[in-house]
Amino acid sequence: MKFWQKFSAVFVVLCMLTIHLPVAAGEGGEPEVTAEAAIIIESTTGRVIWEKNADAHLYPASMTKMMTGILALEKMDMKSAVTYSQYAAYTESSPLGARPGESLVAKDLVTGLLLESDNGAAIALAEKMAGDVTSFAAEMNSKAQQLGMHDTNFVNPNGLTDKDHYSTARDMAKLARYVMKNNDFRKIVGTSARDIYWRNPVGKMYRAENTNKLLGKYDGITGIKTGWTRAAGGCLAVSAKRDGVELIVVLMKADTPDDRFTDGAKLLDYGFEHVKMAKGPAKEKVRHKVWVKGGEQATAYVYPSQDIDYPLINGEDTGKYTLTYDVPNVVDAPLQAGEPVGQLVLRYDGQAVEEVPMISDKVPGGFSVGSWLVGVFEGVLKHI
């Protein structure tokens, strides 16, 4: 072999040793899943860790019930009775088996909705809240817009297939992140099974079991909601928390009902491999002074509602996180302890990634010379 041939061969070998070639899926590279669309987000900030066709319009199936459930928890008295209409009672795939005229307490009905994915329960709740399904769908869509779910349209409360009922993995992740901030919702979807009792007829009950097969089997699992129809394929919104990191995975149109759980576990594994949580400042360290008008004192402090932690994706640097205040310079007394006063904005590399509510200590109303002067010079103080 001539000198240049030997040199070329050695050069090629050295390049192979130094260049980072793509790694096969399952060996540290991209996760390989059957789902047509999927996304992994870090739950505190909503930052995307990985995605696949996350903006494709697909049928969400019973993941729809996340919206029905959260609206019920936010709008209804959970002790009130909900009576089944014929429409609700005879809706397909309603394992609770409630009959027309029977009634359950709202809390039990929401539990059956989210654990057993009962379609009739969704209809009964929709009718109770809005009078009919069409009116309730309008409320669902209004809430979706508030949450930034701009590629979603709901026409029913349960996710049964309709060409005009669609969403995306990204939008469903926004919804999942929102509902998991509600402690009552979170408690229900983290429950493996629960007895549900009828108000009428008295004594009738049903043992509701969670359809999420990862619950109790995947380390750190916390929820959320399954979905399946022939048209939608396997759908799953699932969350898990380890070492201070909580992830949310949404996948749509997996090949089979079981594939959605296999895919979900793979994506959670991938997410936990790529996200770490770094400790940030305690909330007392990032307090912020505001001027008080109409109070017994002229100034007060507001604090973040929680200590600050920094999620780091793929080895990010905590030094690129910055904190800025979106808080009014002047506030009106009185203020109750825990009352929201603006936001603390977390930015990574200049981009806003999370907003943490700033809350006040108790600030009594009244009079002081200093607070009176704040009122006099309010126009100036607001722009300092």
- What's the pLDDT at 382? 87
Is residue 56 very low, low, confident or very high in pLDDT (cuts 50, 70, 90)? very high
Q: What is the mean pLDDT of the chain?
A: 92
pLDDT score of 8: 43
List 43, 52, 62, 239, catalytic entry: 62
Annotated catalytic residue within 94, 117, 167, 360: 117
Predicted confidence band of residue 20 (pLDDT cuts 50, 70, 90) = very low
With contact defined as beta carbons under 8 Å apart, do 378 and 296 qualify?
no
How sure is the predictor about 3, in pLDDT bands with cuts at 50, 70 and 90?
very low
pLDDT value of position 98: 97
* pLDDT digits 0-9 by tens, 279-329: 999 999 999 999 999 999 999 999 999 999 999 999 999 999 999 999 999
Region 360-366: what's the mean pLDDT? 93
- Residue 35 near residue 251, CB atoms below 8 Å: yes
Annotated active-site residue 117? The verdict is: yes
To the query of whether residue 62 is one of the catalytic residues in this protein, the response is: yes
Q: Residues 120-171: pLDDT tens digits? A: 999 999 999 999 999 999 999 999 999 999 999 999 999 999 999 999 999 9
Q: What is the pLDDT of residue 29?
A: 76
Structure tokens at 330: 């002047």
Listing from the earlier edge strand, what are the strands of the sheet with 48-52?
48-52, 37-42, 245-254, 233-242, 221-229
Cα dihedral 156/79/70/229 (nearest 10) = -40
Q: Could you give all domains of the chain from N- to C-terminal order, each with its CATH number?
A: 37-276 (3.40.710.10), 283-381 (2.60.410.10)
Which pTM was predicted? 0.86
Among residues 352, 328, 353, the alpha carbon closest in space to that of 340 is found at 328
- Residue pLDDT, tens place only, 196-241: 999 999 999 999 999 999 999 999 999 999 999 999 999 999 999 9
**Strand, coil or helix: 28:** coil
User: Annotated catalytic, 360?
Assistant: no
Average pLDDT (181-195) is: 97
Instruction: Look at the block and give the residue holding tokens 């928890």.
Output: 73
**Integer Cα distance of 247 and 242 in angstroms:** 9
In this prediction, residue 384 has a pLDDT band, given cuts at 50, 70 and 90, of confident
pLDDT value for 383: 84
The string of pLDDT tens digits covering residues 21-45 is: 222 233 447 899 999 999 999 999 9
Residue 53 has what DSSP assignment?
S
Contacts of 309 (CB under 8 A, 6+ apart): 44, 244, 277, 278, 279, 280
> Which pLDDT belongs to residue 13?
34
Give the up-direction half-sphere exposure of residue 76: CA atoms within 13 A in the CB hemisphere. 25
Which of 43, 52, 65, 174 is an active site residue?
Answer: 65
Banded pLDDT at 80 (limits 50, 70, 90): very high
For 116-135, give one letter per residue: b (16+ CB within 10 A) or e. Answer: bbbbbbbbbbbbbbbeebee
The partner residues of 312 in beta bridges, in order of sequence, read 276
